[in-house]
Amino acid sequence: MTTGRYSAVELDPTLDDYQLAAALVREAGNLALLMRMGGLNAQQKTSVSDVVTAADHAAEAYVLAQLQRCRPEDGILGEEGASVQGSSGRTWVIDPVDGTYNFLHGSTYWCSAIALKDSNDVVLGAIFQPEEDKLWLGGKDQAATLNGDVLDTFHGDRNNTTVAELGAATYIHPTWLMDPMCAMPWHAAATSAAALRMLGSGSCDLGRVADGQLGSWFQHSCPEWDWLPGKAIVTAAGGAADTVRVNGLDWFIAGGTTAVNDLRAALRSGSVA
């Protein structure tokens, strides 16, 4: 497949789902990186920090075409508009460039991510951060790995460590801080953590929760493409993932069991009766 002057690999349909997911995010991420090197402009979506580039569209088009070749019976849902109704009961959820604002401004903290879900839950996730050559992979039938090495982050004391000892990564758009219904739960959770990180790519964050670089993570109102890839990998590493509704907003939480429980309680403490 050729996008402009960039060529991406046609994948082998006999790859298993994990191999296919890993190949898709690696190819999509490298395609986006090559396009950025060639020069890109951005279009604003909902705000100055919510942008989309030609690389987002090209990477999603590549993944869409490969999935239609390799998994023709599966559904497809993409951040940039891909929508295919499958017949298998399974759906691939695509985030071609997560952290587009970072990507556009030359940061390395962005990735390509994909998840496969069925009617019950997420089955697997894959996240590839091209400029650091990090590939996280994991799911229900495969332990979480980073570049092929098994992650055992949550198989020791980590699951019992509080968020006050670990810290948390998060994201909130500045405009939401003006809304008490959102700001109060966020503030309660943020101030419960030992330290706070806001880096601009939820999937990169969740990969680092899975490998232990970040202690835990929380964010409100995540679309599936921002949540499911990382959720699959964190839980495959032995961690916990949860969603709690506070003040009409859904908050998504990941980390060790105790940290997730702490963040859930903190978010609920910001509820407006």
Residues comprising the binding site for Mg(2+)?
Answer: 79, 95, 98, 226
Neighbour-count burial of 19, counting CB atoms closer than 10 A to its CB (0-12 exposed, 13-18 middle, 19+ buried): middle
- Please report, for the chain, how many H helices and E strands are present, in that order: 8, 17
Distance of CA 248 to the CA centre of its chain: 23
With contact defined as beta carbons under 8 Å apart, do 219 and 170 qualify?
yes
Rg (C-alpha) for the chain, rounded Å, is 18
Tokens of residue 148, six digits: 């092929």
Contacts of 67 (CB under 8 A, 6+ apart): 24, 74, 76, 84, 92
Cα–Cα dist 150/143, whole Å = 7
Please give the annotated binding residues, written as ranges. Answer: 79, 95, 98, 226
Q: Is the dihedral of CA 172, 232, 60, 32 positive or negative?
A: positive
